[in-house]
Structure 1
Amino acid sequence: MKTVLAYGDSLTWGHDPEREGLRHARADRWPSVLQAGLGEDVLVVPEGLNGRTTSLDDWSAPCDRNGARSLPVVLGTQMPLDLVVVMLGTNDLKPRFGASAHTAYQGMRRLVQIVRSFPYKPVEAVPKVLIVAPPPCGPSDNGHDSDRRVPESQRFAALYAQLAGEEGTGFFDAGTVARPSRVDGVHLDAENTRAIGAGLVSPVRELLG
């Protein structure tokens, strides 16, 4: 059996914008949909955390949201792994972090480096990486729009595709299959969350061989 780690933020955790603070049903979260599409020969391990960034500290949080700092713990817990799917960057655009897609691009590069340099057992069992660009943010009905967040989030796909080419990883643009809810302009309803899982089945199968 092959093992896939789904590493992300609230979009991976399954945050339901219609029910603030609550999650979509397990079957509606994209890692579960990906699991169903891949079948019993592959195990998808969901690792989503609300507010997780690629590599930035958020000292207002009740737990460590720095993705670069927590990733080695997750890799050590879940190894051996065949593939690490990373969908992060949206939280890097929070105003207090400076709202830069390029910051997320740099943070994502660091995550790729961490995956490849971790001391796995067996040592040759280095997993492949699939970089996923989160769906761009959109207008919201709650008045929490950011002048920079929406256009910066629209840069994710091009920057992450460039990074995938530079680092030799897989790439998938979740914005081609999903759009955020107008409730907050960031999170996804169940249909769009499921669409990401379905869209990832083919690229994940290809990387797993």
Structure 2
Amino acid sequence: MATILCYGDSLTWGRIPNGGRYPKHLRWPALLNGLLGSQHQVINFGLPGRTTLWNDPFLEGRNGLAYLQAALETFGPVDILILMLGTNDLKRHFHVGAFEAAKGVEKLIEKSRMPDSHDFPHPSLVVIAPPNILSPTGVMAESFDGAVEKSQHFHQHYQDIAVHNHCIFLNAAGVLQPSEADGVHLDTKANEQLAQAVYMLIKDTIKS
């Protein structure tokens, strides 16, 4: 049995565009588990507002780097770690772009490969470049002011980081786009598309 840990933000957690949370069976990690089979365990450890490594002054506990080691120990040993973070890094109060988000992901990669007190083997890594942000609406509009153009560069910088660090790479923008309802979060179809894309990437590396 393989343990796959999905470490992400609200796109992994299952945020419904413009509010609420999808039932478990509609979130992409659960859909991925269904594709892989019940003999494997896919853990959804998404958290709305989570960043790669920035401390959000408005939301407590959202620094992804600060909590990754604890997550790996809590659910370990983890066979595959899926990282999809960076969308929240583009909120205007952080004043950073896709390059800095990718460098944050690189720090997460490094953290996942550090020795731990349990001698767990290091997980295989899947780095997902988040989908491009569309025109944010409602409460998203102010937070993500200027983020649309920045998000166009996720693919380039994340791929560079993934290749350099020998990670499996997926460009989410190549298989889906956010809901037009708020320009940031995923509709049910996009959750299905993401689960299928990840499944195709990892199915041959997982033992039945």
> Matches of 2:159 and 2:86 in 1, distance apart?
14
Instruction: Output aligned runs, 1:86-125, within 5 Å.
Output: 86-119=83-116, 121=118, 123=119, 125=121
User: Which runs of no fewer than 5 residues in structure 2 stay unpaired?
Assistant: none
Counterpart of 1:68? 65
> Matches of 2:56 and 2:147 in 1, distance apart?
17
Counterpart of 1:186? 184
> Matches of 2:191 and 2:122 in 1, distance apart?
28
Report the TM-score when normalising by structure 1: 0.92
Instruction: Output aligned runs, 1:24-63, within 5 Å.
Output: 24-61=22-59, 63=60
Corresponding pairs, count: 205
Q: For residues 48-74 of structure 1, give each alpha carbon's deviation from its aligned partner in whole angstroms, at most 9, with x where no partner exists.
A: 00000000001211x300000011110
C-alpha deviation, 1:124, in angstroms: 5.5
1:131 aligns with 2:127: yes
Residue identity (%): 35
> Matches of 2:109 and 2:120 in 1, distance apart?
16
> Matches of 2:197 and 2:15 in 1, distance apart?
19
Runs of 4+ in 1 over 6 A off after TM superposition: none
Amino acid at match of 1:80: P
C-alpha deviation, 1:120, in angstroms: 5.6
Amino acid at match of 2:71: V
Counterpart of 2:21? 23
Report the TM-score when normalising by structure 2: 0.93
> Matches of 1:59 and 1:148 in 2, distance apart?
19
Secondary structure at the residue paired with 2:113? helix
Q: For residues 184-203 of structure 1, give each alpha carbon's deviation from its aligned partner in whole angstroms, at most 9, with x where no partner exists.
A: 21011111122111111011
Counterpart of 2:141? 144
Q: For residues 143-200 of structure 1, give each alpha carbon's deviation from its aligned partner in whole angstroms, at most 9, with x where no partner exists.
A: 7165530111111111111111100011011112211112221011111122111111
**Worse-matched range after superposition: 104-113 or 134-143:** 134-143
Counterpart of 1:2? 2
Q: For residues 100-139 of structure 1, give each alpha carbon's deviation from its aligned partner in whole angstroms, at most 9, with x where no partner exists.
A: 1111011000000011104163x26111110011111001
Amino acid at match of 2:95: G
Aligned-CA RMSD value: 1.6
Secondary structure at the residue paired with 1:197? helix
**Worse-matched range after superposition: 199-208 or 30-39:** 199-208
CA contact (8 A) 1:37 1:201 kept: yes
Provide closer, same or farther for how the CA distance between residues 30 and 118 of structure 1 changes in structure 2, counting only shifts above 3 A.
farther
